[in-house]
């Protein structure tokens, strides 16, 4: 029996490299990543260093905006599934440079869909974002909420990509799952994300930037739980198209997040209070009942435990 072959876009990044760790012994993996300079490409090189020696791993240094080069990847491999994680990420940078976000997150996704259609790939799993919910007043964000008010270009591009994927799945009869990730953290976390940034600044006895009064809420999700959700989605075949939240299930305030880090580090943070940032949502809170029902998804890592595990991983990197 042939080993299934999957394409993972953005496989050198935070989520992608952790996913490949979990899959590399069971699947042939082709990683498409452009190693762009949104953050230090050397970190991505480090993420994939252990994968390069595996016979199950192929690295293609390709930008998903480059349709011709991407097409050559599809021509050389017959994929059973596509896991599309590549994106320009981050709310605040998308406000500064919306054209780049639209090109990568919308046109890049469209390039993939055209090639999935051409090569008759059976399934795509797409990494969407809790940002698509904007400042929706619902107590918990469920997948059936009517979404028409994204408040950042990043969120708008993710919502547009979801809709393009639905259109192609409908027209060309392949399976599509859009997974809305809620604030993922853990080993290999991007340096621009708050938890990573705060820990680094506290270690250096520098003030951490706190936008607003500390009351904003995030549903933090540990990387291992996200990976388990993606793998469950890979194995799910019961319906044609689904949007599914993957969250931690226990939202915490910004102030609580800082207090948890302080306690785990046994060190107080110096705080630089700043005005709220445009484009940042006030709160995220995932309704994960659909993920539980369809994927048997059960996040296993509490926020306190996840912070401790992340700090332990960081200590090993020094």
Query: Would you name the residues annotated as active-site residues?
Result: 154
Contact yes or no for 126/178 (Cβ under 8 A): yes
**Cα within 13 Å of Cα(157), Cβ side:** 26
From the number of C-beta atoms within 10 Å of its C-beta (0-12, 13-18, 19+), residue 294 rates as: middle
Instruction: For residues 165 and 168, give the distance between their C-alpha atoms in angstroms, rounded to a whole number.
Output: 5
Q: Which of 12, 28, 121 is nearest to 74 (CA)?
A: 121
H or E element in which residue 271 lies: strand 271-274
241: enclosing H helix or E strand: strand 241-246
| Dihedral pair phi/psi, residue 5, rounded to 5° | -115, 130
Q: What whole-number distance in Å separates Cα of residue 178 and Cα of residue 124?
A: 8
- DSSP-assigned beta bridge partners for residue 6: 29, 81
Give, as one character, the DSSP assignment of residue 103: I
Which region holds residue 227: left if phi is over 0, alpha if psi is between -120 and 50, else beta? alpha
């Amino acid at each position: 029996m042939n080993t299934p072959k999957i394409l993972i876009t953005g496989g050198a990044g935070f989520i992608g490299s952790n996913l490949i760790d979990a899959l590399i012994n069971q699947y042939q993996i082709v990683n498409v990543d452009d190693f762009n300079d949104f953050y230090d490409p050397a970190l991505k090189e480090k993420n994939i260093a252990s994968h390069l020696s595996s016979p199950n791993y192929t690295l293609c240094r390709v930008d998903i905006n480059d349709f011709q080069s991407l097409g050559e990847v599809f021509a050389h491999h017959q994929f059973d599934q596509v896991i599309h994680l590549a994106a320009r990420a981050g709310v605040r940078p998308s406000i500064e440079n919306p054209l780049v976000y639209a090109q990568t997150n919308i046109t890049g996704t469209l390039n993939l869909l055209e090639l999935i259609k051409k090569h008759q790939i059976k399934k795509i799993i797409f990494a969407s974002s809790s940002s698509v919910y904007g400042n929706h007043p619902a107590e918990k964000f469920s997948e059936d909420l009517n979404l028409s008010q994204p408040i950042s270009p990043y969120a708008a591009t993710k919502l547009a990509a979801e809709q393009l994927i639905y259109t192609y799945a409908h027209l060309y009869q392949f399976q599509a799952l859009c997974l809305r990730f809620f604030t993922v953290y853990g080993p290999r976390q991007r340096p621009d994300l708050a938890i990573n940034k705060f820990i680094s600044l506290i270690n250096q006895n520098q003030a951490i930037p706190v936008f607003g009064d500390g009351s904003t809420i995030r549903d933090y999700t540990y990387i291992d739980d996200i990976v388990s959700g993606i793998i469950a989605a890979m194995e799910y075949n019961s319906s044609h198209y689904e949007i599914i939240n993957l969250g931690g299930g226990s939202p915490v305030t910004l102030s609580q997040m800082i207090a948890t880090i302080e306690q785990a580090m046994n060190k107080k943070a110096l705080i630089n209070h700043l005005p709220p940032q445009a484009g940042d949502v006030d709160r995220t809170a995932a309704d994960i009942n659909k993920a539980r029902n369809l994927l048997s998804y059960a996040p296993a890592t509490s926020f306190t435990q996840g912070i401790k595990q992340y700090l332990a991983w960081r200590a090993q990197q020094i």
